[in-house]
Amino acid sequence: MRDYENNKGTMMIDGVSSVDIANKFGTPVYVTDEQIVRENYRNIYNAFAQYMPTEVHYACKANTNLAILSILNQEGSHIDAVSIGEVLTCLKAGFPAERIMYTGVNVSDEELAQVVQTGCRINLDSRSELERLAKITTDIPISFRITPGVASGHSEKVMTGGKGSKFGIPMNQVIDTYARAKDLGFDVKGIHAHTGSGGMTTDPFTDVVDVLCEMVNRIEEEVNIKLEFLDFGGGIGVPYRPHDPEADLNELAILITDTIQEETDIKTVALEPGRFIVCDSTVLLTKCVDIKEAGMKKFVGVDAGFNTLIRPALYDSYHYVAVANKFNKAGVAKYEVVGPICKSGDYIAHDRALPEMEEGDIVAVYCGGAYGFSMSSNYNSRPRCAEVLVNNGEAELIREREDFEDLWRHQIVPARLSK
């Protein structure tokens, strides 16, 4: 979790007053520090690249803002995309197709054909997808996602690698699937597995790499395919609470690259951080619009609800909150921080010690860069919020706030209903 500068009681974001941002761009608003995005990318790339050739495939489902993607394109990042929409968005942001890896699940024929047209790399999720791709083309390099039987993540809803998962080729079908791909004439380049999102220990990552390395050798021995890259997916966790430990990137890099180099002839390792790169780069600023006491509870009503940040309601996720305009004041009472959505589950934070709250205060919700805006919605017919990028003391709008016309823009009322 990031520490922010306190300037006479005001929270500063890379030299810019958070209160000034809220006043200028309105609330709620997501505010991203560009230099943190760059720092996070470089930290994870350098940790692995010092030991072996490395590709960092940014899991863009975490945040697909074109400005954020453009920053990562400048840094030389690759992309992990899970839909044709993500592929096209990354192409629009300037990524060359060869740096985009598409890994869909339950992919339709129409989407598969669209992906082929883009020229990006394709990582197949099922035997069915392989057979259907062969009817479109076999003249492309591919890889496969397998189900390693190893799962990790902050919630069961984000664990992807366990037995019985909807993702990947089951272990008992992997050899036959690679053999079938070879018979069809595909150039098979790699192997991939994904454990889940937000793992905080090295164990799931080292466990899945052990599985992948064993499978790499079996594929070479039994199918006579020499793979070039090993892609271990699964987001590296980040600290959401003030005293949470940070992941030891160097330890993780040593454990993984040592295993790959000692046990296989694989030349390149790929990894797929999304949350790690963007999560702590962003805060959500939201205004206190109501104060209410109800028995034993005090409520701070803010203008951001689970339409803006759904993670607390969906996953019971913890996000640290502070009062941006009272950044030097200690907590004097415990509050529930809740939003304007007509659901009792609409909350940002439970039982948080905050300064004496007043209407008009600006609440800063930390670690909003991953799955914040990207999972936001128009529920309760509320327009989605703006996004701002801060860099070296300057704040720039990178997404306009929606208006009510945006809610209706693609709706059609038949003429017979207008009479």
Domain termination residue (choose one: 222, 256, 276): 276
Query: Nearest CA to 313 among 338, 279, 280, 287?
Result: 338
Long-range contacts of the stretch 179-186 (C-beta < 8 A, 24+): 179/222, 179/223, 180/127, 180/130, 181/130, 181/142, 181/144, 182/223, 182/224, 182/225, 184/130, 184/134, 184/138, 185/138, 186/130, 186/134, 186/138, 186/140, 186/141, 186/142
User: Which range of residues forms the domain containing residue 290?
Assistant: 5-32+279-408
What does the pLDDT look like over 119-157, one tens digit per residue?
999 999 999 999 999 999 999 999 999 998 754 444 343
- Asked whether residue 315 is domain-assigned, the answer is yes
Q: Are residues 329 and 377 in the same domain?
A: yes
Peptide bond preceding 148 in cis form (omega within 30 of 0): no
- Asked whether residue 283 is domain-assigned, the answer is yes
Query: Nearest CA to 204 among 236, 173, 230, 174?
Result: 236
pLDDT at site 158: 39
Structural domain total, the chain:
2
Given the residues 120, 213, 342, 385, select the one marked as catalytic.
342
> Which residues of the chain register pLDDT less than 50?
151-162
Q: Are residues 289 and 232 in the same domain?
A: no
CATH, residue 227: 3.20.20.10
Sequence-separated (6 or more) residues with CB below 8 Å from residue 411:
none
pLDDT at site 235: 77
- Asked whether residue 333 is domain-assigned, the answer is yes
342 among known catalytic residues: yes
pTM of the model: 0.94
Q: Are residues 334 and 223 in the same domain?
A: no
Domain termination residue (choose one: 276, 304, 326): 276
In 17-77, which residue ranges form alpha helices assigned H by DSSP?
18-25, 34-49, 66-75
pLDDT at site 196: 66
Q: Are residues 315 and 191 in the same domain?
A: no
Chain centroid to Cα 224, Å, comes to: 36
